[in-house]
């Protein structure tokens, strides 16, 4: 299931659910159900990814110990798991929350498992495609808070935009650090065909700069207060600084700083928004 990755994805979905204006009181049981349903669908998508990439996973140091790649689990077993997890997870989201959330989760699974995964060996545009299912959990969590058609998607799209843009410096930093491994497997994930270059570093700066104005939107759309806005501005500028450092240093150490900064960035931003949520009158 790639538990750490799955949990990170579902964490953003849960926070988006709790940020929805009609969620006034937090029900622990509902949060656990959303976490469970999201983990199952996300785990299914990750299982499909490992089935499709079992041969390439086997030749890479960072993925060689995965269950299917290492032979600890057969393709048939993994396929069965993926199918059952997707069905149960989507039913939990649909029956206990909304069918919008269930439909979006299955759409996200399809894009990740059957579009993004094979595209990784074709063109670096795969990162752009993969950023869609990577950000959809925010919309899924937002939609899970509503069981009818009479609601605004604006807040969900704002959270989607924040997580969508965040993925580019985050993932390119990972691809920079693991470039040798990825190249060995035939993956094309960096913006430049020549590998880690100034062009790639500039791209990380551009997307981290775009995160600054987008990070102000929750305040201007009355989702959260001014305190969280300044926290988001500070966090976004910190990401910009790390990406600029990568541009000047052009080394794995700086790329690793961008990578770890991005890991810290997302929970800080989401929790700041939640803590400073504006109660709807």
Amino acid 280: pLDDT: 65
Please check the confidence at residue 150 and state whether its pLDDT lies above 80. no
Average pLDDT over residues 20-39: 91
Tell me if residue 74 falls in helix, strand or coil: coil
- 185 pLDDT band, cuts 50/70/90, is confident
Say what the pTM is: 0.94
Amino acid 151: pLDDT: 80
User: Which residues face 277 on adjacent strands?
Assistant: 224
In angstroms, the CA 195 to CA 232 distance is: 31
- Measured at the alpha carbon of residue 236, what is the angle toward residues 145 and 226, in degrees to the nearest 5? 60
Please check the confidence at residue 281 and state whether its pLDDT lies above 60. no
Computed over every residue of the chain, the mean pLDDT equals 93
Answer with the residue of higher pLDDT: 218 or 1.
218
In angstroms, the CA 210 to CA 185 distance is: 31
Q: Could you tell me the two tokens for 28?
A: 């622990």
In angstroms, the CA 160 to CA 149 distance is: 19
Q: Could you tell me the two tokens for 46?
A: 């990750």
In angstroms, the CA 77 to CA 79 distance is: 5
Domains in the chain (CATH in brackets) are 1-148 (1.10.357.140), 152-281 (1.20.120)
């Amino acid at each position: 299931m790639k538990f750490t990755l799955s949990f990170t994805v579902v964490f953003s979905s849960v926070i988006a659910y709790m940020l929805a204006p009609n969620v006034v009181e937090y029900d622990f049981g509902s949060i656990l159900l959303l976490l469970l349903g999201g983990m199952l669908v996300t785990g299914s998508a990750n299982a499909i990814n490992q089935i499709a990439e079992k041969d390439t996973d086997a030749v890479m140091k960072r993925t060689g110990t995965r269950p299917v790649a290492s032979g600890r689990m057969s393709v048939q077993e993994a396929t069965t798991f993926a199918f059952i997890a997707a069905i149960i997870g989507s039913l939990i989201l649909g029956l206990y929350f909304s069918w919008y959330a269930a439909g979006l989760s299955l759409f996200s699974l399809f894009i990740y498992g059957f579009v993004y995964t094979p595209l990784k060996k074709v063109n670096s545009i795969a990162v752009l495609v993969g950023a869609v299912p990577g950000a959809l959990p925010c919309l899924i969590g937002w939609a899970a808070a509503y069981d009818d058609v009479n609601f605004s998607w604006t807040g969900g799209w704002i959270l989607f935009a924040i997580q969508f843009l965040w993925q580019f410096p985050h993932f390119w930093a990972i691809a920079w650090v693991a470039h040798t491994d990825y190249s060995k497997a035939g993956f094309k994930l960096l913006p430049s065909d020549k590998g880690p270059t100034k062009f790639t570093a500039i791209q990380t700066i551009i997307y981290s700069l775009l995160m600054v104005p987008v990070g102000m939107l929750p305040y201007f759309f009355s989702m959260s207060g001014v305190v969280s806005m300044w926290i988001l501005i500070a966090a976004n500028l910190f990401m910009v600084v790390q990406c600029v450092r990568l541009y000047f240093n052009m080394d794995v150490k700086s790329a690793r700083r961008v990578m770890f900064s991005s890991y810290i960035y997302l929970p800080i931003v989401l929790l700041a928004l939640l803590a400073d949520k504006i109660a709807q009158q």
